[in-house]
Amino acid sequence: MEVQSLPAALALVAGGGTGLSPERRAALGASLPLVQRDYRFERVWFWGCIQGLRGAYYIAEGLGPDRAAPRSRLYSLNCLDWSLLTPATKEMLALAEQVKGRFQGDPSFDYSLSEINAEAAARLMESDKEPVMKEEARLVATIELIDRAAGIVPRGAFVKTPLGAVHENRHFEGLPLAEAKKLSSYFHLTEPVNLKNKTLLEKADLDPSTDFLDSLEHDIPRGSWSIQLEKGGTVVVLRSLLWLGLTFYHVPMTKQFGYVYFGTGEKNLDLPFML
């Protein structure tokens, strides 16, 4: 969510019963513009909050000119002081998917890899490294996993240039209500997977400047998204059932859209049995 429109955006997703206190909103409004200035980001998004047992992590993302480029991620424990997170590696992502249980709320907390992945622990011991995983590493890996699975944008909101860079579409004026109610009108803002497997015949009707991402209609398992009309049918809200707490909103025929996460950072592994 854009920092400037944060209060209004939080009101649009408040139907799920989550949000921020006035004090937290005021702190974000004061600190995130300073983060944008100090780190020289083009844009700063408030990503959401991961609630731990002893505290909460408030997450922000810094973006450059290319919206598809890797994002810089920061976390704060009080919405005022921000720390930059290191990019997630493949090993961190694999280990984070195997860690079970709630976050502690302490970035320095150690998870014993011998209890999570014995092979990974053995490799670390061979290279004279401690077989532990910091909660800070789990945090950035979890953010990356959620972004890959549930970070979405409306069709046409971003365009891909012939050189491969992705920019905001200045001509995007929002989806019509009839289109906004379809899952096929929303894309994952990450490297496409299903698109590469399409045949030439299936790609013939696609616009390479706007249809360069994967659509939500092909997500597995089927039924992992809930789509609803709220605020008297003026706002389309999508909620992820795989990552409970991820909420996306779009006001049809306007440029207003975004998503935010308020949850425990745990994947809903029971979803296939619930559908």
83 strand-pairing partners: 75
Range of 2-11, 36-45, 115-124, 202-211 with top mean pLDDT: 36-45
> What does the pLDDT read at residue 260?
92
Report whether pLDDT(140) > 90.
yes
According to the model, what pLDDT value does residue 164 have? 76
CB atoms within 10 A of CB 266: 16
Q: According to the model, what pLDDT value does residue 273 have?
A: 81
Percent of the chain at pLDDT above 70?
A: 86
Mean pLDDT, the chain, integer: 84
CB 263 within 8 A of CB 247: no
CA 59 to CA 52: how far, in whole Å? Answer: 13
Mean pLDDT of 71-77: 92
At residue 222, the pLDDT reads 83
Joined tokens for residue 261:
């996460």
Confidence of residue 38 (pLDDT cuts 50, 70, 90): very high
In this prediction, residue 115 carries a pLDDT of 65
